[in-house]
A and B are shown apart, each in its own frame.
Chain A
Amino acid sequence: MAHRWGMAIDLDRCTGCEACVAACHAENNISISTPEQAATGRTTHWIRVDRYYEGTFPDVKVKYMPVLCQQCDEAPCEPVCPTYATYHNPEGLNVQVYNRCVGTFYCANNCPYTVRYFNWFDPVWPEPMQLQHNPDVAVRMAGVMEKCTFCIQRIKRGKDEAATAGQPVADGDIQPACVQSCPAEAMVFGDLNDPESKVSRMAESSRATRLLEELGTKPKVFYLERGR
């Protein structure tokens, strides 16, 4: 049976440390922004940690929520792209084809999670960070939209290695950079079509919910939180 990749994030474990953000940067050749760019909303973080504050000092509560592309099964970003630069692949991933993107920005406007990021200029890395690039991932040019891919390069490698070994892909073999780096092990990645996988079991938890579910996007990232 074909894979259907999904992710579960346990918000009760998340500490907001942003290791996932850093790991994603390193893995996916994401450009590093200057303070001026950060001030004008031009940073690129394929996964970002949203913070919501409740109450006033000293009774402040902070909620952390890592938000990444939800790989929606009925993604609103896909039908509006005039060049098919973003579409749904048979494994349920919302793929972004960099060299087909003309930069109409429609996908980013239609994404209710605001998880799409644009290359306003050609990317820059302060020396010597450009030596750290991941050769498995393209470096995008100015004018192209990008977003989280569930580390499709790791998925591909995992599938290739399993095929070489003549085994099916085992649960936990493939881990995107963010999942791999989380010190609290709050993130789980796997095949939703496999009922025994950890992510499927977590998705069925009574604590599980999805972000902006009511919009009908059918996202594949499950957030687990006590009190649901």
Chain B
Amino acid sequence: MYRHIKQPELLPYGKIREDLFRPLSGLTRKYLFAIIAPILVILIGGYAWATQLRYGMGVTGLQRPVFWGFYIVDFVFWIGISHAGTLISAILRLTDAGWRKPITRAAEAITVFALMIGGMFPIIHLGRAWYFYWLMPYPNSRLLWPNFRSPLLWDLTAICAYVTGSVIFLYLPLIPDMAQLAEHNTPWRAKLYHVLSLGWTGSDTEWHALERAMKLMAGIILAVAISVHTIVAWDFAMAIAPMWHSTIFGPYFVVGAIFSGLAGLMIVMAAIRKLMGLELYLTRHHFNNLAKLLLLMSILWLYFTMAEHLTVWYGNDPSEMVVFGARTRARFSTLFWLMVFVNFVVPFVLLGIRRLRNITTGVIASVGILFGMFLERYIIVVPTLSNPRLPAASSTSYAPSWVEIAITAATFAGMIVLYLIFSKLFPIIAVWEFKPHPHEDEI
């Protein structure tokens, strides 16, 4: 009865499939440039890491007492970005929000890649990184085990569980699409897709199993995601350093993660919409909903930031007040207020005022938010470490060195490269899921 309205869901199935499969074939010059530039950045980052492995952590800007710096900021940042997929895919799937459908795969891909990148930093930041495997429990000749009381071991288990879950969560809905792709493709690709699709035939048994599995996975992955960022937060909260030892860190980091993840998602969505010609599928409606969610998370982020700082200021603990002053009034104040500006003020204006809310302003706000959330992690890590409890040991001179900056840049480049490769191998929108069922009944 709605056939006279030209909505993308009601386009003929063949057209949808053609539109979404088209970007997978052929390499344009634009694509090649887009992938070679980040690869160069990655190579520079690789060289930086090699330097660090050869000479020692002294090539970074780290120093006593600031023993954690850019790498840990990067780690928390990227694990935070990974919450994009979980929110969109899991939460919106559980609440049956139909507008999520063209976004889920892109979001899930962000999750997997962000986790892969973020998961590298616990290795990169090690003083003797070649021994990273000592954190894993395996039978060894020294008859010892790692220390499971350490929050770093909790990080390891959490991220392992999350990566496994996210990869499976990305893979499952990909199976029907790959079965489709196996039929219309070049020989080597057809073989690849055929193997990966496990011989999917589209029978109702398979569909039922898939839908049931997705429902279960959505709930489980949501539980895992919340715990993962809580555990990353507990790397700080379990320490007794001033302004780290706070119970608010768990929820604060989860909110911040969803916030930064959504911002990352909006940027990626806008990019693929433009670059892959998906204007019909990623409509203003989707961006509007994303923008509203982003605005909500911005307000929530502000609430948590205020709650943390107000309680510290009111409590007036001397060690904590030094850090508080460093953040808000002294050395880090510029960064702190800049963070508040780009995390709250800019999104509130650009996304809160309906007349200003559109895809462009959404992307501007999101870029600002990513920058702001990076600053937030920096402001959490460095001021506390710079102002330890014994004032004679304090320091004011941490600044990232070229090694840390190069590796950080390489991670952003890595994300771009991974995404470009992904978009060439798999349709960025789940073809089978996108079209709503005609004459949908109540189940």
Task: Evaluate contact between B239 and A109: CB separation under 8 angstroms.
Answer: yes
A43 to B134, CA, bound (A): 28
Task: Evaluate contact between A82 and B135: CB separation under 8 angstroms.
Answer: yes
B314 within 8 A of A: no
**Chain B residues closer than 8 Å to A118, beta-carbon distance:** 57, 62, 64, 67, 127
Interface residues on B, range: 35 or more
Which B residue sits closest to A65, measured CB to CB? B392
Task: Evaluate contact between A109 and B241: CB separation under 8 angstroms.
Answer: yes
Task: Evaluate contact between A82 and B126: CB separation under 8 angstroms.
Answer: no
Task: Evaluate contact between A108 and B151: CB separation under 8 angstroms.
Answer: no
Task: Evaluate contact between B57 and A142: CB separation under 8 angstroms.
Answer: yes
Beta-carbon contacts under 8 Å, B149-183 to A:
149-153, 156
With beta carbons under 8 angstroms apart, the residue of A42, A50, A101, A120 that contacts B390 is A50
Task: Evaluate contact between B56 and A120: CB separation under 8 angstroms.
Answer: yes
Beyond A104-B126, A110-B239, whether A83 also contacts B397 by CB under 8 A is no
A30 to B423, CA, bound (A): 54
Which B residue sits closest to A76, measured CB to CB? B240
B383 within 8 A of A: no
B385 within 8 A of A: yes
**Chain B residues closer than 8 Å to A65, beta-carbon distance:** 392
A41 within 8 A of B: yes
Main secondary structure of the interface of A (DSSP, over half): loop
A62 to B331, CA, bound (A): 26
Beta-carbon contacts under 8 Å, A121-154 to B:
121-122, 141-145
Beta-carbon contacts under 8 Å, A78-102 to B:
79-84, 100-102
**Chain B residues closer than 8 Å to A103, beta-carbon distance:** 57, 126-129
A57 within 8 A of B: no
Beyond A102-B127, A144-B127, whether A83 also contacts B147 by CB under 8 A is yes
Beyond A103-B126, A120-B58, whether A112 also contacts B388 by CB under 8 A is yes
Which B residue sits closest to A122, measured CB to CB? B56
A184 within 8 A of B: no
Task: Evaluate contact between B392 and A143: CB separation under 8 angstroms.
Answer: no
A83 to B127, CA, bound (A): 13
**Chain B residues closer than 8 Å to A101, beta-carbon distance:** 127-128
Task: Evaluate contact between A114 and B390: CB separation under 8 angstroms.
Answer: yes
**Chain A residues closer than 8 Å to B239, beta-carbon distance:** 76, 80, 106, 109-110
**Chain B residues closer than 8 Å to A51, beta-carbon distance:** 392
B325 within 8 A of A: no
Task: Evaluate contact between B68 and A105: CB separation under 8 angstroms.
Answer: yes
- List the 5 closest pairs (A to B, CB-CB), nearest first: A103-B127, A120-B58, A143-B127, A142-B56, A50-B392
Known: A80-B149, A103-B57, A215-B240. 18 other contacts (CB 8 A): A67-B390, A80-B152, A81-B150, A83-B147, A100-B134, A101-B128, A102-B127, A104-B127, A105-B68, A106-B235, A109-B65, A112-B241, A113-B390, A113-B393, A118-B127, A141-B128, A142-B55, A212-B389
Pairs across A and B, CB under 8 Å, 30 listed: A41-B66, A42-B58, A50-B393, A52-B391, A65-B392, A67-B392, A79-B147, A82-B134, A82-B150, A101-B128, A102-B126, A103-B57, A103-B126, A106-B239, A109-B239, A109-B241, A112-B241, A112-B390, A113-B390, A113-B393, A117-B64, A118-B57, A118-B64, A118-B67, A118-B127, A120-B63, A121-B56, A142-B56, A143-B128, A145-B127
